[in-house]
Amino acid sequence: MIQILLVDDHPSVGEGTKSMIEQDVEMKVTVVTSSMEALEVLKSETFDVLMFDLNMPVINGLELTRRAIAINPDTPILIYTGYDISSHFNILVEARVSGFISKTASQEQLVNAIRCVLRGEAVVPISLLHQLRRNDVRAIVSANEVNLEGISIDEKEQTILQEVARGRSNREIADSLLMSQRMVEYNLTRIFGKLKVRSRSEAIFEAKRLGLIPNEDFMSY
pLDDT band at 112 (very low <50, low <70, confident <90, very high): very high
Number of domains observed in the structure of the chain? 2
Residue 66 in any domain: the answer is yes
Residue 146 in any domain: the answer is no
In this structure, the answer to whether residues 174 and 123 fall within a common structural domain is no
73-93 mean pLDDT: 79
68-79 mean pLDDT: 92
Residue 140 in any domain: the answer is no
112-129 mean pLDDT: 83
Calculate the alpha carbon distances from 190 to 60, 144, 148 in Å.
26, 20, 19
pLDDT band at 1 (very low <50, low <70, confident <90, very high): very high
Higher pLDDT pick, 154 / 25 = 25
Contact 85, 107 (CB under 8 A): no
124-149 mean pLDDT: 48
pLDDT band at 77 (very low <50, low <70, confident <90, very high): very high
How does pLDDT run across 9-35, given as a tens digit for each residue?
989 999 999 999 999 999 999 999 999
Entry pTM: 0.59
**What's the CATH number where 62 sits?**
3.40.50.2300
Residue 216 in any domain: the answer is no
Residue 219 in any domain: the answer is no
In this structure, the answer to whether residues 84 and 34 fall within a common structural domain is yes
**How many C-beta neighbours within 10 Å does residue 58 have?**
10
* Residue 26, domain extent: 2-133
> Is it the case that residue 215 has pLDDT exceeding 80?
no
Rounded distance, CA 155 to CA 177, Å? 12
In this structure, the answer to whether residues 163 and 120 fall within a common structural domain is no
Contacts of residues 13-17 at CB distance under 8 Å and 24 or more positions apart, as own/partner, are 13/53, 13/103, 17/51, 17/80, 17/103, 17/110
Buried/exposed code over 193-216 (b: 16+ C-beta within 10 A; e: otherwise) = ebbebeebeebbbbbbebbbbbee
Contact 78, 98 (CB under 8 A): yes
In this structure, the answer to whether residues 24 and 128 fall within a common structural domain is yes
Q: What's residue 85's pLDDT?
A: 63
Residue 221 in any domain: the answer is no
In this structure, the answer to whether residues 14 and 61 fall within a common structural domain is yes
In this structure, the answer to whether residues 70 and 174 fall within a common structural domain is no
In this structure, the answer to whether residues 193 and 102 fall within a common structural domain is no
Residue 139 in any domain: the answer is no
147-158 mean pLDDT: 63
**How many C-beta neighbours within 10 Å does residue 154 have?**
13
Q: What's residue 88's pLDDT?
A: 67
Can you point out the beta strands (E) in 128-195?
none
Calculate the alpha carbon distances from 141 to 135, 147, 160, 201 in Å.
13, 11, 19, 23
- Provide the residue type at 82 as one letter: G
In this structure, the answer to whether residues 83 and 47 fall within a common structural domain is yes
In this structure, the answer to whether residues 161 and 124 fall within a common structural domain is no
In this structure, the answer to whether residues 111 and 176 fall within a common structural domain is no
